[in-house]
Structure 1
Amino acid sequence: MRAVIRRDRKLVCDEIGELTPGEGQVLVSTLACGICGSDLHALHHMEHMIDLSRRGGAPDSGFDPRADTVFGHEFCAEILDHGPGTTKSLKAGTRVVSVPITMHNGGVEALGFSNRLPGGFAERMLLSEALLLAVPNGLPTDQAAMTEPFAVGLHAVAKAHLEPKSVCLVVGCGPVGLAVIAALKAKGYGPVIAADFSPRRRAAAERLGADIVIDPAQESPHDRWESLGVPKTRAGQSMMRMMGNPIARPVVFECVGSPGVLQMLIEAAPAGAQILVAGVCMETDRIEPSIAITKEIELTFVLGYTPEEFAETLHMLAEGVIDATGLVTGSVPLDGVAGAFTALGDPEAHVKILVKPGG
């Protein structure tokens, strides 16, 4: 079968071996798979990514970042066949999504970061039956494929110490920031300020419900805290409380992942703010802890999602609580994936591109 392979830090469309479902597994046809920012970075820096992951305590699955890898972990697929030991509760032809791991012989393969099993940039995959979720309510395939990236936003929001009247600032409106905005509005929080230099991304943030959308080239989003009832200094906050006016905790979501952004936010955020770091900075960065200490800034780093959050995200998409319509700005067959990686380097060109192995 055909797949797009990362080989020698290039993307090659080639043939790979056919798949046979093992114990508890199902064979699926990939219908659509999103290109994630982590895929873009991994193309050229996979070795560094895996080294940092293992230094952070991730288990060593034997994955060799120098060997052939088929990316793709944001997918919607269709069941083709069942392996031994499956219940077959979901019949062939059922559209499904799954947390992107496949269990086998007591171990797991992280789909998209495996040398043994292909991810969604292949015509077919092996998934674990126990992890499958049927796509409900006739949810279109393109939107079902957005379950995984939107689950990342839901998890970040779940880690935030939000109050009913919290003012939230989302810095960076790429896929992660957009997912955070969608989750905040789905949970009823606001006002939500969204900041990004890209007009296309700002428009997407507005479609997902951001209350205030700001171009940082024209205005600092931090100039809005005071007008939204959040004094930036400790003295101002104390005075407001003395006057009997409660202050909802300000929460900032860092969704850029570039060096220097975290320090900038520490300096600019109101005293007592929580900064949720959802953007993945792959380089050594520098912060001045004394400033964060003086302001009692809380830093929270987040990654991924739980299976329950993944399932909740699918439900919210299917019920229209999160409307992902219009976020998919392009689709490509397997032989167009390399070009799509290049196109995604321009934030004005696309928000999300889906790979459709069937063409």
Structure 2
Amino acid sequence: MRAAIFRNGEIVVDALPEPEPSAGQVVVKTLACGICGSDLHARKHAHRMVELARHFPGRKPMDLARDVVFGHEFCCEILDYGPGTPRRLKPGTLVCSLPALLTPEGPKAIGYSNDNIGGYAERMLLSEALLLEVPNGLAAEHAALTEPLAVGVHAVAKANVRGDEVPLVIGCGPVGLAVIAALKIKGLHPIVAADYSPARRALAEKLGADIVVDPARTQAFATWAEHAAMSREQQAARPAMQAWLPALKPALIFECVGIPGLIQQVFEGAPRDARIVVVGVCMETDRAEPMLGIMKELNVQYVLGYTPEEFAHSLGLIAEGEVDAASMVTATVGIEGVAGAFADLANPERHTKIIVEPWR
């Protein structure tokens, strides 16, 4: 079978052996797989990923001397089952799954592994126990966005929303857009979103942002403060010792960029007692001034991934039309187009989410 393979630091197209399912596993045809920002980071910072993986006992790092097939945002069609598998879904059924294989040694990642082929291949293996049937005739390229939406749903869940906050989303790439969609579903308004790209700001509005900011022209925290001003009644209800503080509603800030310097910028711009959720994945060593966090009593929450329940919920949100996932898809490519798509995604005006269709 054909696959787009990460080999010697580049994405190349080559043939791989057909996957052979073990007990509990399913052979699937990959219908659609999104290119994630983490894949772009992995191509550029693979050695850093390997280095950091050593801090987690039991996690097998990638061997960069061997082939890796990326791809963890996928929708597939069931082809066949391994021995001793219940076969609860018929061949031909469209499914999504957490990007993991269940093994006797525990769950193993799909997509950043030498052993478990990801979605940039014509066929792959999944664990039957993790399969979710795609409902409502949802198109495969839209079902494949379950995984990135689940990241946003999880980030908002970890933020412990009370309902009185005014959120600020910094960065409107796929992760930031997923956070905006999840905030809208949560009913939290107004949602302020900031991005340098006009195209991404337009998408942010489409997915639920109430106010969008171009940081090249307007300071994002200043715009946030304008829309977070307390009413006179709220000001009057504050304890006397808080009267000297700016009369602002609680800040809930989502950092969805993941480049060095962003957390420091948030520390500098955030108001006192802000809750900061770090969703963007920075692959490089970064620095921030702890004293800013101390003096402002900032609360910082790092997040990763999602729970199985959040993943299933996200698929339902897309299938029910509660999230306009289709608006995020800006192109589709076959296996031969993956390397070019990695380059194209560097320009936010051209693309937000490119879907790989290995069967093309």
Q: Tell me, what secondary structure is at the counterpart of 2:265?
A: helix
Secondary structure of 1:241's match?
coil
What is the distance in 2 between the residues matched to 1:348 and 1:240?
45
Q: State the partner residue of 2:159.
A: 160
Residue by residue over 1:83-122, the C-alpha shift from the partner in whole angstroms, topping out at 9 and shown as x without a partner, is: 1121111110000000001123434331111111210000
Q: CA offset at residue 249 of structure 1?
A: 2.2
Q: Which residue of 2 aligns with 1:187?
A: 186
Amino acid at match of 1:298: N
Q: Which residue of 2 aligns with 1:51?
A: 51
Contact 1:23 1:104 in 2 (8 A): no
Contact 1:32 1:141 in 2 (8 A): yes
Distance 1:201 1:240, change over 3 A: farther
Aligned ranges 1:11-90 → 2 under 5 Å: 11-55=11-55, 57=56, 59-61=58-60, 63-90=62-89
Question: What's the secondary structure of 1:222's corresponding residue?
Answer: helix
Give percent identity, aligned residues only: 55
TM-score under structure 1 length normalisation: 0.94
Cα deviation for residue 239 of structure 1 reads 7.0
Query: Secondary structure at the residue paired with 1:259?
Result: coil
Output aligned runs, 1:197-346, within 5 Å: 197-230=196-229, 241-242=238-239, 248-346=249-347
Counterpart Cα distance in 2 of 1:58 and 1:106: 13
In the alignment, the residues of structure 2 paired with residue 291 and residue 264 of structure 1 have an alpha-carbon distance, to the nearest angstrom, of 11
Give me the whole-angstrom Cα distance separating, in 1, the residues matched to 2:61 and 2:177.
Answer: 34
Compute the displacement of 1:170 (Å): 0.2
Matched to 1:14, the amino acid is D
Whether the aligned pair in 2 keeps the contact of 1:334 and 1:357 (CA below 8 Å) is yes
Paired letter, 1:34: G
Q: Which residue is 1:234 aligned to?
A: none
Q: Is the 8 A contact 1:330 1:354 kept in 2?
A: yes
Work out whether residues 163 and 248 of structure 1, in 8 Å CA contact, stay in contact via their aligned partners in 2.
no
Query: Match of 2:2, as an amino acid?
Result: R
Q: What secondary structure sits across from 1:90 in the alignment?
A: coil
- Return the offset for 1:193: 0.4
SS in 2 for 1:31: strand
Cα 1:305–1:58, aligned 2, differ >3 Å: closer, same or farther? farther
Q: Return the alpha-carbon distance in structure 1 between the equivalents of residues 217 and 61 of structure 2.
A: 48
Displacement of 1:14 after TM fit?
Answer: 0.3
Q: Indicate if the aligned counterparts of 1:161 and 1:274 stay in contact, CA closer than 8 A.
A: no
Once the 2 structures are TM-superposed, how far is the Cα of residue 248 of structure 1 from its aligned partner? Answer: 4.3
- CA distance in structure 2 between the aligned counterparts of 1:224 and 1:311, rounded to whole angstroms: 35
TM-aligned CA deviation for residue 301 of structure 1 = 0.6
Aligned CA distance change for structure 1 residues 174 and 215 (closer, same or farther; 3 Å): same
Measured on the aligned residues, the alpha-carbon RMSD in Å equals: 1.9
Counterpart position of 2:138 = 139
Which AA in structure 2 matches 1:21?
P
Q: What SS class does the counterpart of residue 355 from structure 2 fall into?
A: strand
Q: Mind listing any 5+ residue stretches in structure 1 that lack a counterpart?
A: 232-236
**Structure 1 residues 175, 62: CA separation in 2 closer, same or farther (over 3 Å shift)?**
closer
Which range moves more in the overlay, 241-250 or 147-156? 241-250
Instruction: Structure 2: give runs of 5+ residues left out of the alignment.
Output: none
Measure how far apart 1:70 and its partner are.
Answer: 0.5
- Rounded Cα–Cα distance in structure 2 between residues aligned with 1:318 and 1:298: 35
The AA in structure 1 aligned to 2:275 is: Q
SS of alignment partner, residue 327 of structure 2: coil
- Letter of the structure 2 residue corresponding to residue 47 of structure 1: H
Amino acid at match of 2:333: V
Cα distance in 2 for partners of 1:53, 1:150 equals 25
Over 3 Å counting, the alpha-carbon distance change for 1:192 and 1:58 in structure 2 is farther
Change (3 A) 1:335 1:299: same
Q: Distance in 1 between matches of 2:303 and 2:57?
A: 14
Q: CA deviation at 1:59?
A: 2.7
